[in-house]
Amino acid sequence: MSSRSPPLKKTCFNMIIGTHNGTFHCDEVCAVWMLKQLPKYKDAKVVRSRSSDILADCDIVVDVGAVFDHSKCRYDHHQKEFTETFNSLDSTKPWTTKLSSAGLIYVFYGEEVIRTLMEKIATDNSLDATSVSQEQVRIIYSKVYENLIEEIDAVDNGISQSDDVPRYVVSTTLGKRVGNLNPRWNEESNDDILLKRFEKAMALVGAEFMDRVTYYQLGWLPAHNIVKEAIEKRFEIHSSGEIICFPNVAAPWKDHVMSLEKELNVETSIKYVLYPDVANSKWRVQCVPIRNDSFVNRLSLPEKWRGVRDTELSNLTGIADCVFVHANGFIGGNATYEGVLKMATESLRQAN
């Protein structure tokens, strides 16, 4: 959304980005890192303060100041009256999680950030940077919000992932890793030390951000057409249309299957994906989950097969050359394509 960006006030060499001092969090670390990817703020000085006089001299301020005003480049979300979400600022987007400073910067500058990074990634991989299309930028812009920035927004605003009591603790999220870079309670701490730690946190967040964009650009996006072709040919694999196959490569498929089912008006949902296990010269059959982030499958492999291997599994299923079925029933293996196809079709038959 670079068209939303306010006009330049000064040259990029004397721009100032302001944020709060003291303990830093993932949202403002990410917000500042994103801004510094743009030509306008690439060489900007970062000032950390809560002084209104000091912040008044900054060209852009994030996560402090109790003001959200895009026309004045002020992006705080802590004020009582702030309720903005991605959807409230851009009704074409579905996300309704309250924004943090990371989300605010992403809404207004993120599309420009994504384009800048995609062109760099293309150049670094000997690709034509001019081949990066606006449609590709738009797709990855949405993917990065949904799979990175929204998490930062939610955590900073104290929004739980669910209302249920977690079964286990997740302590390795990006936000927790950023938080761990703050000085410990019994460590020496001052403005200089905190600024160095803040810069280290920016490098950590930047590496994570770049990894996401690189994967989506070079891995995930090229898989779209491969998955689409497999879905279009699903009735050539099995008359039910519930099995698809990647004959040559195991492309990343989960996200694409679910979005393409909607796009292509697939009436009967796909249950199984067949693909080669290239490293072992064998084949796999994998269940499609109910959601991309779920361990629950649309249709798991039969319970009596789970945890059984090799000859015992072949004798149990009546299918030659079986290798294994996972104890959770989400994946199985066979030495041949014909074998995994039989495993998938027999699973469908038993379910019906």
CB atoms within 10 A of CB 190: 8
> What count of residues does the chain have?
352
pLDDT at 3: 46
Query: What is the spatial order of strands in the sheet that 74-75 belongs to?
Result: 45-48, 16-19, 60-62, 74-75, 68-69
Q: What angle do CA 42, 43, 45 make, to 5 degrees?
A: 115
Give the Å distances, CA to CA, from 102 to 9, 72, 95, 109, 148.
Answer: 22, 17, 14, 10, 10
Give the Å distances, CA to CA, from 95 to 142, 151, 292.
Answer: 10, 11, 17
Claim: this prediction has a pTM higher than 0.75: yes
pLDDT at 7: 47
C-alpha span between 239 and 56 (Å, rounded): 67
Helix, strand, or coil (residue 323): strand
C-alpha span between 269 and 261 (Å, rounded): 7
pLDDT means over runs of 10, the chain (352 residues) = 49 85 98 98 97 97 98 98 98 97 98 98 95 95 97 96 87 96 96 97 98 96 93 97 92 90 94 94 96 92 98 98 97 98 98 90
